[in-house]
Amino acid sequence: MYNSKILGLGKYLPENKVTNKDLEKIMDTSDEWIQERTGIQERRHIVKGSDDTTSSMGVKASKIAIERAGISPQDIDLILFATLSPDYYFPGSGVLVQEALQIPDCPAMDIRMQCSGFIYALATADQFIKTGMYKKVLVIGSEYHSGGLDMTTRGRNISVIFGDGAGAAVVSRAENNEKGILNTQLHSEGKHAKELSLIGPNTGRWVPEIMEENNPEDSSYYPYMNGQFVFKNAVVRFSQVISAGLEKAGWKPDEIDMLIPHQANLRISQFVQKKFGLRDDQVYNNIQRYGNTTAASIPIALTEAWEEGRIKEGSKVVLAAFGSGFTWGSVVIKW
Ligand code: UT7
């Protein structure tokens, strides 16, 4: 059995910044409300008509990750693409990345685990590397939210939160089993599936019916979130899954060099920080600048933390996520 490690990281954010003040102009919200409840100051939104898509952002992030890993796209033998906003209903976005990067025949798998998508994808990559089945796995988290949000006051509890962007990692075999990914924790609880969901277009609702209804009042085409319920579950599950990862690694909280929580809400990150008694420099947050980019939030934050030199050889890193499903998980890494 081999340990796996992250060999290269990359990120891509669309240039277009949307500030809270911009949102004040189109819906009944305020900079004050958004900052106080979520910590968000601005997020990136793809401009309508631009060339950016979920897969193309993933490709841009991947190119950087592959170059930093010192390999070529042809060395990739598995692609894992985490998203809740794929380019198409089908096929998945993984095959589009494969084609764009000219990666020869290899499995390209989409992971549909929402905010926990990157954690699930990393855990999957780790398992395939452990067994020796694959050697270079490209793991991507990418989201294009802005085209599917209700940007009226009706959708304000969701639409002020989400942003677009992508992050990617090349995962390969570690030199020894003392470093790399030490353990992964994955969970889901389907009884809360509808508490954070988008149920409008589905296989039980036939397309001709939907077209006939043509009902602008129908909000089921937009994401729905029972905010307070999700929040309460998030703080509990984040804490549990971080504790489980630390315990398995035999680490105490004060040994963590960098905790990267999924960027759901700054208040959730602060709650978790306080719970584990962590200093500010032990936790990475960038939700202030990018909003919540679901499956992309951890790889974007991880890339930034690494670019800033806050993660280096030997660093003890913990990644953790919670989101729709409900799903939650963590990955513990000795860099
Ligand atoms: O990434 C996946 C996991 N996601 C999460 O973990 C998110 C969890 N939930 C949250 O982060 C928070 O619940 C929200 C940020 C979504 C909402 O914050 P909240 O403190 O739970 O607010 P609330 O939903 O209880 O709403 C409080 C008030 C309501 O008005 P009334 O009924 O008190 O008059 C809302 O209508 O705030 C109102 N409101 C807004 N006001 C201004 C909701 N959204 C907005 C808004 N601007 N954008």
Averaged pLDDT for residues 291-316: 98
Check residue 279 and give its pLDDT: 98
Residues 193 and 320 in one domain: yes
Residues 34 and 154 in one domain: yes
Which of residues 131, 149, 173 is at a domain's end? 173
Q: How far is the CA of 227 from the centre of ligand 1 (A)?
A: 6
Which of residues 131, 152, 173 is at a domain's end? 173
Whether a cis peptide bond, with omega within 30° of 0, leads into 326 is yes
pLDDT digits (tens, 9 = 90+) for 211-234: 788 888 888 889 999 999 999 999
Among the listed residues 55, 182, 75, the one whose alpha carbon sits nearest the alpha carbon of residue 137:
75
The reply to whether 265 belongs to the active site is no
Name the closest-CA residue to atom 4, ligand 1. Answer: 264
Angle between the 266-275 and 227-249 helix axes, to the nearest 10 degrees?
Answer: 40
C-alpha–C-alpha distance, residues 301 and 316, integer Å: 15
Widest distance between CA atoms in the chain: 60
* Confidence check: pLDDT of 247 > 90: yes
Give the model's confidence band at 151: pLDDT under 50 very low, under 70 low, under 90 confident, else very high.
very high
Name the closest-CA residue to atom 8, ligand 1. Answer: 231
Give the number of the atom of ligand 1 that is nearest the alpha carbon of residue 294.
1
Residues 49 and 189 in one domain: no
* Confidence check: pLDDT of 103 > 90: yes
Ligand 1 proximity of 160 Cβ (cutoff 6 Å):
yes
Indicate left, alpha or beta for 284 from its phi (over 0: left) and psi (-120 to 50: alpha). beta
Residues 197 and 297 in one domain: yes
Ligand 1 proximity of 271 Cβ (cutoff 6 Å):
no
Name the closest-CA residue to atom 30, ligand 1. Answer: 157
* Confidence check: pLDDT of 31 > 90: yes
Residues 111 and 160 in one domain: yes
* Confidence check: pLDDT of 305 > 90: yes
Q: Which of 115, 145, 233, 265 is catalytic?
A: 115
Ligand 1 proximity of 116 Cβ (cutoff 6 Å):
no
Residues 123 and 42 in one domain: yes
Check residue 200 and give its pLDDT: 84
Q: Which of 3, 20, 262, 265 is catalytic?
A: 262
Ligand 1 proximity of 9 Cβ (cutoff 6 Å):
no
Q: Please give the share of the chain, as a percent, with pLDDT higher than 70.
A: 100
Residues 164 and 201 in one domain: no
Which of residues 144, 173, 202 is at a domain's end? 173
Residues 24 and 129 in one domain: yes
Check residue 214 and give its pLDDT: 82
Range of the domain at 277: 180-334
Name the closest-CA residue to atom 13, ligand 1. Answer: 227
Q: Tokens at residue 25, please?
A: 């102009």
* Confidence check: pLDDT of 241 > 80: yes
pTM of the predicted model over 0.95: yes
Ligand 1 proximity of 115 Cβ (cutoff 6 Å):
yes
Residues 278 and 219 in one domain: yes
* Confidence check: pLDDT of 150 > 80: yes
Check residue 29 and give its pLDDT: 98
pLDDT digits (tens, 9 = 90+) for 186-213: 999 999 999 999 998 777 777 777 778 8
Residues 246 and 315 in one domain: yes
Q: What is the CATH number of the domain that holds 211?
A: 3.40.47.10
152 and 221 Cβ atoms separated by less than 8 Å: no
The one-character DSSP state at 115 is: G
Please state, in angstroms and as integers, the Cα–Cα distance from residue 131 to each residue in 3, 101, 184, following that order. Answer: 9, 26, 15
Residues 207 and 321 in one domain: yes
* Sign of the C-alpha dihedral computed for residues 229, 46, 91 and 6 taken in this order: negative
Give the number of the atom of ligand 1 that is nearest the alpha carbon of residue 265.
11
Query: What is the domain count for the chain?
Result: 2
pLDDT digits (tens, 9 = 90+) for 278-292: 999 999 999 999 999
Residues 134 and 213 in one domain: no
Strands 136-143 and 165-173: antiparallel
The reply to whether 115 belongs to the active site is yes
